[in-house]
Amino acid sequence: MTLSRTPSFDLHGKHALVTGASSGIGLGCASALAAAGARITMIARGAARLEEACAAIMETGGKAAAQPLDIADIAAMKDFIAAQGPFDVLVNAAGTARHSPALDTTEADFDAVAAVNIKAAYFAAQAVAQGLMASGKPGSIIQISSQMGHVGGLDRAVYCATKHAVEGMTKAMAMEWGPHGIRVNTICPTFILTPLTKATFDNPERRAWIESKIKLGRVGTVEDIMGAVLYLASDASSLVTGTALKVDGGWTAG
Return the active site residues.
Answer: 159
SS3 (DSSP) at 192: strand
CB atoms within 10 A of CB 230: 20
Give residues with Cβ within 8 angstroms of 126, minimum separation 6: none
CA distance 17 to 90: 5
Find, among 164, 219, 159, the residue nearest to 189 by Cα: 219
CA distance 185 to 91: 10
| Dihedrals phi, psi of 9, to nearest 5 degrees | -95, 5
> Are the beta carbons of 45 and 23 closer than 8 angstroms?
no
**Strand 39-44 and strand 63-68: pairing?**
parallel
CA distance 132 to 126: 10
Question: For the CA atoms of 28, 29, 33, 34, what is the dihedral angle to 10 degrees?
Answer: -40
CA angle 200, 203, 208 (to 5 degrees): 95
**Strand 89-92 and strand 139-144: pairing?**
parallel
